[in-house]
Chain A
């Protein structure tokens, strides 16, 4: 069973360009979380999605950031008009459908975004 996959692993963009980060959850997992890790900081929650639904986007910046998890295909985190402050590691985590008190989140290797 393959783990959570993220691509690309490294992404370089110039200011003003768009960044699209992809996350394929583990097989059988229908919940996806995105976290951002700024240099020398801990991980910050951004958004929680289930198939075709955004459940909690309380950690998403109000502008330029969006996320989706379509019925088919990977989850996408999209950053429009990137700025240097967007440079960070973006991690995706997936968990299985509910039923338990808490379902472990399995993290992908991350996408390291560098904005020039």
Chain B
């Protein structure tokens, strides 16, 4: 099953809050999980990525938590800022495949001042 399910569809938090976006997958052959950030009118940009042999990865205010047994992973944004308001996509890549990205449906985040 080559799907990645993402939730919630939209999220509103106050400045300083910690929005959490969740993704789930079925295919255990996925072995690379990037998160992309997209601003209106722009293309997606890689934010942070993780491999399934790691349970957590932090880059600045962004953290990925990975639960291999549950086949779930999530993005946490610490001390969120209005400039973080964007659409966030989780994605997955199949092992040994062509590198094509299988995207989740996206989460639109609004951080209120």
Contact = CB atoms under 8 A, between A and B. Distances in A.
Interface of A: 4, 31, 33, 35, 41-45, 48, 55-56, 59, 91, 93, 95, 101-110
Contacts, number: 55
B21 interface: no
Given A42-B6, A42-B89, 17 more contacts: A33-B99, A33-B100, A43-B89, A45-B102, A48-B98, A48-B100, A56-B98, A102-B99, A103-B99, A104-B46, A105-B101, A107-B43, A108-B43, A109-B41, A109-B43, A110-B42, A110-B43
B14 to A, nearest CB: 25
A102 B98 CA distance: 9
A44 B103 contact: yes
A10 to B, nearest CB: 10
29 contacts: A4-B43, A31-B99, A33-B99, A33-B100, A35-B103, A42-B6, A42-B89, A42-B103, A44-B103, A45-B102, A48-B100, A55-B98, A56-B100, A91-B43, A95-B99, A101-B32, A102-B32, A102-B99, A104-B46, A105-B99, A106-B46, A107-B36, A107-B43, A107-B45, A108-B43, A109-B41, A109-B43, A110-B42, A110-B43
Interface string B31-48: 010101000011111100
B92 to A, nearest CB: 11
Q: How large is the interface on B (under 10, 10 to 19, 20 to 34, 35 or more residues)?
A: 20 to 34
A68 B76 CA distance: 39
B64 interface: no
Contacts of B45: 107
Nearest to A3: B43
Interface string B18-34: 00000000000000101
B72 interface: no
A41 B106 CA distance: 7
Given A41-B105, A48-B99, A102-B93, A107 B32 contact: no
